[in-house]
Chains A and B, each alone.
Chain A
Amino acid sequence: STMVHYKLYYFPSRSVAEPVRQMFAYAGIEYEDVRITKEEWLAEWKNKMTFDQVPVLEVDGKQIPQSLAIGRFVAKQYGFYGKTPFEAAWIDAIADQFKDYWVALAPWFYVHMGYAEGDVEAAKAKCAGPARDMLFPHLQKLLKENKSGFLIGDQVSWIDFMIQEHVTVLEEEFPGYLKDYPELFVHAAKIRALPAIKAWIEKRPVSRG
């Protein structure tokens, strides 16, 4: 059989690339995990990337941008996209809701992480609550209703990896932010404990977020 050759290009962090790395780890798919520093990005890599953006997944030499499109493509290929079209649609809905939440959280998150200048307390007062309300009550409800312990259906999916990664960052950077949503921590621990993911976490490069 012909093996597909994958290269994943991103910065040296987890963030929006990590769900793809975790799907590859879980499915046992080999790929080149290319990590580009900020200096390298500006000096040479931005021009090499098809839309001047990362992440990019290169599939047999063809570049694909946009983290959600990449994630869905990999999820479909390797069985992380639910068992029915309706489950797949729910997975898509959560991915999009997560992105909307992320856009709402970003002003605070970026200042906190030092990616942007600003008043972190003012940003927190403005963003933290409204952002959280967009996403976590709904995820909590899904986890309470789904006996499997996964977000959608009875097997691990793309958005389990996506949400777990972000909850991990929240635990590290904003302890207490999700204190009313303990189900999210149970879920994150469950995903991190999956043998292939546990092994990946132990060997992956360490980064802050």
Chain B
Amino acid sequence: SMLRYKLIYFPIRGRGEVARQLFYLAGVPFKDDRITISEWSSLKAKTPFGQLPVLEVDGHQLAQSFAIFRYLAQEFGFAGDSPLEALWVDVTADQHKEYENKIKPALRFQGSEEEKEQLMRNVAEPARDKYFPLLEKIAEEHGSSGHFVGASLTWVDLLIAEHASILLKQFPGFLDRYPTVLAIVDAILSTPKLKEWLEKRPDTAF
């Protein structure tokens, strides 16, 4: 029988992983369409914004990772338990995206040790220290039981936990000043159903 959902993305975690996690957590089957660069070059013009990921729902396309995550989260119950919680999930996600944009030049940077040092000092640390205090504040005011917002798992929990995994792999100890965040990330990654996915998913560097 035809699957309702298809996620089209590259064979990496990147901006597709949270969607895959949502499907798995919800127990909803989907086509995990991991495409090559050459397949992409012929598909690109047929996508809404010429970018991936794209979600197909009954053949209808949707673009932009956060729009996809929010749509699936709402369908499957991972968008917060009230309009106010959904709002704070959205606030957190947008604040996180702004931080990720700032820290991006320092992640996976291949260059001299001196350049890496400079990026750490001038880019990574300031970006971290602007964002993570806000994240702690959000968690304190709006989250509980090992979640950033609300008392149950949301898509922004998955977003932040995935990012933290990559970040700490490259920069161990980078978040030591933010133990509450680390504790929440640990709690999220220990969610049994999510742990199952983390263990069985295709292994990619990022």
A residues adjacent to B (C-beta < 8 A): 50-51, 64-66, 68-69, 72-73, 76, 85-86, 88-90, 92-93, 96-97, 103, 134, 138
Contact = CB atoms under 8 A, between A and B. Distances in A.
Given A89-B68, A90-B67, A93-B49, 13 more contacts: A64-B91, A65-B95, A66-B90, A66-B91, A69-B90, A85-B71, A89-B67, A89-B71, A92-B66, A93-B64, A93-B67, A96-B64, A138-B49
Contacts of B166: none
B104 to A, nearest CB: 11
B129 to A, nearest CB: 13
Contacts of B83: 73, 76
Contacts of B95: 51, 65-66
Contacts of A73: 83, 87, 90
A93 B54 CA distance: 11
A72 B49 CA distance: 21
- From DSSP, what is the main secondary structure of chain A's interface residues? helix
A93 B64 CA distance: 5
A52 to B, nearest CB: 9
23 contacts: A64-B87, A65-B91, A65-B95, A66-B95, A68-B94, A69-B88, A69-B90, A69-B91, A69-B93, A72-B90, A85-B71, A86-B57, A86-B71, A89-B62, A89-B70, A89-B71, A92-B64, A92-B67, A92-B70, A97-B63, A97-B64, A134-B49, A138-B48
Nearest to B65: A96
Interface residues of B, number: 26
A97 B93 CA distance: 15
* Most A C-beta atoms less than 10 A away, residue of B83, B87, B93: B87
Given A64-B87, A65-B91, A86 B66 contact: no
Contacts of B90: 66, 68-69, 72-73
Nearest to A142: B48
A93 B101 contact: no
A26 to B, nearest CB: 20
* Most A C-beta atoms less than 10 A away, residue of B60, B63, B67, B101: B67
Nearest to A97: B49
Contacts of A76: 83
